[in-house]
Amino acid sequence: MFNTKKHLDRRTLLKSAGAALALPLLDAMIPANTALAQTAAAAKLRAGFIYFPHGAIMNQWTPATEGKDFEMPAILKPMEAHRKLITIVSGLENKAAIAPPVHALSPGTWLSGATPRKTQDPYGGTTIDQIIAQQIGQDNPFPSLEICTESRGGGGSCDRDYGCSYSGTISFRTPTTPLPMENDPRKLFQRLFGVGDTAEQRKTVTRQTTSILDLVQEEANDLRRNLGASDQAMLSDYLDTVREIERRIEKMEKSDAAKMTLPNAPAGIPGQFDQHLNLMFDLMVLAYQANMTRVFTLMMAAEVSGMTYNHIGVPDSFHPISHHQNDKTKIEKLVKIQTYHTQVMAKFIDKLAKTPDGDGSMLDHGLFLFGSNMSNSNAHDHYPLPSAIIGNANGRIKGNQHLKYPDKTPMSNLLLTILDRAGVNMDKVGDSTTQFSEV
């Protein structure tokens, strides 16, 4: 029996003058008579690290019981539908963040567990997102992406001994190289899909065309005619997603441009925080689909954030309310904010669960850390840290459990475990002492 079926190269792009658009993984990219797991198209790990500032109200984050039969706590309740792929880890402490500046060190030490030196020039530790990116991200256009919603926090996010490097990012490529985080969705979209890097290039492209899809539509139609029914449906869904995000970015840019009064706010950022945060997550799903990256980090809000959450009935500034002084009303507002963050995270993982990826879904192949490097924001504690692992990591994460470790177990033990589940062999990271075999 002979099989003459040809297959598309995994790196196939839709191209036209001035634009190129990557494609999702299609069945047509898999050689005939070849098991998916044996091909270059086989689904690989996708990793993400999602940080929220100012800790959590821990008695509403931490399950009351250990093991599998735990009740999902209030703040994490929005993710209940995916509990089989969720592991909540309790009892962790990050000593690297324990220093007088507090906010100035919390983000940048979360993923390294390394205590920074006292110097204005950063010197901390390489973060695990970058260690993973070096291992699995080199075949992608972007080994990693670093994104956020606020360009910087308020007073207290910088320190005279440590500078500002650790508060504005959670990602360090090397101990001395903090990676800037992009908060403008339009710039991020253009960076991913090649519309133009400089302001002048973007203006030129904008004058010539309103959409990447307009440029590549003819080639997309030609490709569609040569695909099977399932690939045609996947391609259509993918291109519809690109079009929808283009539409949303363009619409929000036009409607909000005249309203931008905040100092130092880059053009193109939505005026509504809820729209902004959800759009950044949507762009990460799209980047995964297009195979532009396999690793990202995201700060949901800045450290010492002045963000207000009017859309959920909390008009108070985030950071001041985090110093609740055990006031019941302030705690209730803070729980609302923290639950909202989980709701947005739940939307993201739900989209991943519904997005096909090789022999499963993107959530099946994903490994995500959702948490903070602070516990009780009123006391500026770094123990016990709110930490949840989400995703199956290609079968390497057990899920559906609450693991409680001895008090003040190093957070670095969880980081070392994540590296192992990502296929990275290391003996130590930060102040780690062992891996967690139970995860």
Tens-digit pLDDT profile for residues 52-77:
999 999 999 999 999 998 999 999 99
Is there a single domain that holds both residue 163 and residue 52?
yes
Q: Is residue 107 within 8 Å of 53, Cβ to Cβ?
A: yes
Element (H, E) at 250: helix 229-256
Tokens 């003058």, residue located: 17
Q: Summarize the confidence of residues 383-395 as an average pLDDT.
A: 97
For residues 113 and 96, is the Cβ–Cβ distance under 8 A? yes
Least confident of 226-230, 338-342, 392-396, 421-425: 226-230
281 in a domain, yes or no? yes
Q: Which residue, 216, 244, 268, sits at the end of a domain?
A: 268
**Among 236, 268, 300, which residue terminates a domain?**
268
Give the Cβ contact number of residue 400 at 10 Å. Answer: 16
Q: Where are the alpha helices (DSSP H) in 157-258?
A: 185-193, 199-208, 212-224, 229-256
Residues 348 and 291 in one domain: yes
Answer whether residue 408 shows pLDDT above 90: yes
CB-neighbour burial class of residue 425 (10 A; exposed 0-12, middle 13-18, buried 19+): exposed
Same domain membership, residue 221 and residue 175: no
* Section 224-240 average pLDDT: 79
Q: What is the pLDDT of residue 238?
A: 77
79 in a domain, yes or no? yes
Which is nearest to 227 in space by CA: 397, 437, 434, 23?
23
pLDDT, mean over the chain: 84
Residue partners of 229: CB distance under 8 A and separation at least 6: none
Asked if 168 and 178 count as a contact pair (C-beta separation under 8 A), the reply is yes
Domain membership of residue 70 (yes or no) is yes
Q: What is the pLDDT of residue 79?
A: 98
Whether residue 114 is found in the same domain as residue 240: no
Residue 333 pLDDT exceeds 90: yes
Q: Is residue 139 a part of any domain in this protein? A: yes
Confidence of residue 262 (pLDDT cuts 50, 70, 90): very low
244 and 354 together in one domain: no
Same domain membership, residue 349 and residue 327: yes
Answer yes or no: is pLDDT of 87 > 80.
yes
> DSSP of 308-369, one letter per residue?
EEGGGTEEEEHHHHH--TT-HHHHHHHHHHHHHHHHHHHHHHHHHHTSEETTEETTTTEEEE
What does each C-alpha distance from 396 to 110, 112, 379, 393, 412 come to in angstroms? 23, 22, 36, 5, 19
Residue in the block written with tokens 């509990």: 83
pLDDT of residue 74: 97
- Residue 176 CB neighbours (<10 A): 14
Residues 199, 159, single domain; the answer is no
Question: Do 318 and 407 belong together in one domain?
Answer: yes
Please, which pLDDT band fits residue 1 given cuts at 50, 70 and 90?
A: very low
Question: Using an 8 Å Cβ cutoff, are 147 and 296 in contact?
Answer: yes
Average pLDDT over every residue of 209-218: 65
For 287-327, write each residue's pLDDT tens digit: 898 888 999 999 999 999 999 999 999 999 999 999 999 99
pLDDT above 90: residue 242: no
| Domain match, 280 and 262 both | no
**What pLDDT score was predicted for residue 194?**
55
pLDDT confidence band for 263 (50 / 70 / 90): very low
Residue 281 has pLDDT above 50, yes or no: yes
Residue 218 lies in a domain: yes
- Provide the 10 A C-beta neighbour count for residue 360: 16
DSSP symbols for 308-322? EEGGGTEEEEHHHHH
CA-based R_g, the chain, Å: 22
Task: Report the number of distinct structural domains present in the chain.
Answer: 2
Alpha carbon separation from 142 to 16, 138, 288 (Å, rounded): 21, 8, 11
| Residue 258 pLDDT | 34
pLDDT in tens, 95-138: 999 877 888 899 999 999 999 998 888 899 999 999 999 999 88
Do 291 and 436 lie in one domain? The reply is yes
Whether residues 300 and 417 share a domain: the answer is yes
**pLDDT, tens only, 140-169:** 888 999 999 998 877 777 888 888 889 999
Which is more confidently placed, 269 or 323? 323
Q: What are phi and psi of 146, to 5 degrees?
A: -125, 120
Tell me how far apart the alpha carbons of residues 120 and 161 are, in angstroms, rounded to a whole number: 6
Q: 187: pLDDT confidence band, cut at 50, 70 and 90?
A: confident
Distance CA 126, CA 184 (A): 25
Q: What is the pTM of this model?
A: 0.80
Give tens-digit pLDDT for 23-54: 776 777 766 555 544 444 556 899 999 999 99
Residue 168 belongs to some domain of the structure: yes
CATH classification of the domain holding 143: 3.40.720.10
105 occurs within a structural domain = yes
Proportion of the chain above pLDDT 70, given as a percent: 80
**Coil/strand/helix, residue 144:** coil
Instruction: Please tell me which residue, 338 or 267, carries the higher pLDDT value.
Output: 338
In a domain, 204, yes or no: yes
C-beta of residue 158 within 8 angstroms of C-beta of residue 169: no
The pLDDT assigned to 4 comes to: 41
Domain that includes residue 227, residue range: 191-268
Cα angle vertex 35, ends 29, 37, to 5°? 85
| CA gap 206, 211 in Å, rounded | 8
- Strand segments (E) across 260-357: 295-299, 308-309, 314-317, 356-357
Structure tokens given for 169: 């990012």
Tokens coding 374? 């602070």
Q: Which of 268, 293, 311 delimits the end of a domain?
A: 268
Do 67 and 168 sit in the same domain of this protein? Answer: yes
- Provide the 3-class DSSP secondary structure of residue 330: helix
Please report the pLDDT score of residue 376 as a whole number. Answer: 93
Q: What pLDDT is recorded for position 414?
A: 98
Q: What is the mean pLDDT of residues 400-410?
A: 98
